[in-house]
Amino acid sequence: MKLSTSVYKAVAMLAGGVAGFFYWISYGCTAGCALTGTWYGSVIIGGVFGNLFAGLIVDIRNKQLK
């Protein structure tokens, strides 16, 4: 079954958001951190990194299939 690129990116964004939340629980600072000072900041950053990683993986996979 072939999944579309948007499905890969959505799943990776969700996984990155979850990873960002767990990062905030484990290592996030409580004051003075612009990006990881709040849980939603960490979730957003994790989602962005997940989306970027999925785009990279999809591009590599498409080049290998050609």
pLDDT at 35 > cutoff 50: yes
Give the pLDDT band (50/70/90) at residue 1. very low
65 or 56, greater pLDDT: 56
Longest dimension (CA), the chain: 49
- Mean pLDDT rounded to a whole number for the chain: 85
- Across 1-5, 31-35, 54-58, 59-63, which has the greatest mean pLDDT? 54-58
Total residue count of the chain as it appears in this document: 66
